[in-house]
Chain A
Amino acid sequence: KQEVTQIPAALSVPEGENLVLNCSFTDSAIYNLQWFRQDPGKGLTSLLLIQSSQREQTSGRLNASLDKSSGRSTLYIAASQPGDSATYLCAVIGGTSYGKLTFGQGTILTVHP
């Protein structure tokens, strides 16, 4: 059974800091990995999708890496802003999670001015 863990559970940083969110998964036979952002009480916004054959993806100030063999992904946020405050969720699909996304518990990020 696929399990996804995110560390840390919560993170509070001053504006302008670069930060790293971590995600690990137990079954490396994934098809892809997605990072999402969720604002309180809202739906999920897709940030980045990394296919299993890829090592990283970049979008603006966000960079996500994938090491499939070790079951790890990181989301790097450069020059954080208060508007980045949200819950960040990592999810994998494929392998024993074929056809469904298996999510971590999320990292609650607070960026204070």
Chain B
Amino acid sequence: ETGVTQSPTHLIKTRGQQVTLRCSSQSGHNTVSWYQQALGQGPQFIFQYYREEENGRGNFPPRFSGLQFPNYSSELNVNALELDDSALYLCASSLDGLDEQFFGPGTRLTVL
């Protein structure tokens, strides 16, 4: 059984650029959630996808968007990057949105 994977591991961008982060869910899981974790803080919920539909969104602006594909993998897109977007981005998958959540290793995004 393959766990949750994320790519890339690290990314450096400049202000105003756009970035795409990718996540492959654990086998059999149809729900993917994305979280942003600033240094020294707990993760903050960005949004969740269930069977290719957005199923809840946290307090993040529209420049944070996502997709879920038929194989339940997912992308997080961030447009017009700001310095405060520098964080660890975590993806979690589960059998359904309320079940045990399994996290990937994260993508460290640095915005200069």
Contacts and interface: CB of A to CB of B under 8 A. Distances in A.
Interface of A: 4, 31-32, 34, 36, 41-46, 49, 89, 91, 93-94, 98-106
B45 A41 contact: no
Contacts, number: 66
A8 to B, nearest CB: 15
Interface of A is mostly: strand
Interface residues of B, number: 27
Nearest to B39: A41
A45 B90 CA distance: 12
Nearest to B46: A100
B43 A103 contact: yes
Given A31-B98, A43-B103, A44-B103, A101 B55 contact: no
A94 B98 contact: yes
A105 B56 CA distance: 22
B87 to A, nearest CB: 12
Given A43-B106, A46-B102, A101-B33, 11 more contacts: A32-B100, A41-B108, A43-B103, A45-B103, A46-B100, A89-B43, A93-B98, A100-B33, A100-B56, A101-B35, A101-B92
B93 to A, nearest CB: 11
Ranked 9 nearest A-B pairs via Cβ: A103-B42, A100-B45, A44-B103, A99-B56, A43-B105, A99-B97, A43-B103, A43-B106, A49-B100
11 contacts: A32-B98, A43-B4, A43-B106, A46-B101, A89-B43, A91-B101, A98-B56, A100-B48, A100-B58, A103-B42, A106-B42
